[in-house]
């Protein structure tokens, strides 16, 4: 969660907090040309972040739909890029030990772009690394007291292709 990219931007730059989350899902790889593939994915993503200026930590869960173009550079190495749309499932905030549901106070949609690399390790086992950059502002709070941010995420994945 990069609050420095919110609108309005904070008066003083806030230190970014990278927090681990989880992701799992399914993908389908559709051949388009010799080394070009279309890869729609269906995933559950849990993103965690922190707003140090307010002393709050956040956990946001999304249903994610990336649609990636995959280009196979080598038989074991591919590059990928494409849009990623997400819809909020639920959101929680923790402040001073108090856990609260903020699902209805949080922007429901997240739209961004993803790009990365994928390496085939053995047969159908692969490893990938991606960078996701949110394009829209995600607001937390009521209309008059909204704090906004944009997503930035690095994802490392291990998977099995059937």
The domain locations on the chain are 3-160
End-to-end CA distance of the chain: 34
Q: Tell me which fold the domain 3-160 belongs to.
A: Porin (2.40.160)
Q: How far apart are CA 110 and CA 116, in angstroms?
A: 19
Global pTM value? 0.86
Structure-token pair, residue 132 = 């996701």
Tokens of 91: 């959101």
The tens digit of pLDDT for each residue in 94-111 reads: 988 899 899 988 889 999
Instruction: Look at residue 79 and give its three-state secondary structure.
Output: strand
Nearest to 1 by CA among 93, 117, 118, 95: 93
Dump pLDDT digits (tens) for 8-33.
Answer: 676 677 777 778 889 999 999 999 99
């Amino acid at each position: 969660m990069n609050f420095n990219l919110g609108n309005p931007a904070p008066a003083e730059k806030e230190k970014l907090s990278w927090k681990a989350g989880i992701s799992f899902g399914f993908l389908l790889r559709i051949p388009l040309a010799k080394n070009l593939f279309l890869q729609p994915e269906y995933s559950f993503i849990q993103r965690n972040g922190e707003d140090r200026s307010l002393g709050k930590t956040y956990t946001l869960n999304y249903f994610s739909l990336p649609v990636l173009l995959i280009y196979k550079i080598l038989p074991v190495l591919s590059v990928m890029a494409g849009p990623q749309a997400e819809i909020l499932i639920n959101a929680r905030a923790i402040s001073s030990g108090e856990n609260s549901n903020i699902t209805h106070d949080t922007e429901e949609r997240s739209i961004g772009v993803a790009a990365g690399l994928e390496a085939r390790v053995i047969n159908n086992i692969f490893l990938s690394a991606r960078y996701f950059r949110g394009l829209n502002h995600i607001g937390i709070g009521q209309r008059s007291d909204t704090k906004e941010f944009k997503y930035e995420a690095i994802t490392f994945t291990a998977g099995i292709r059937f």
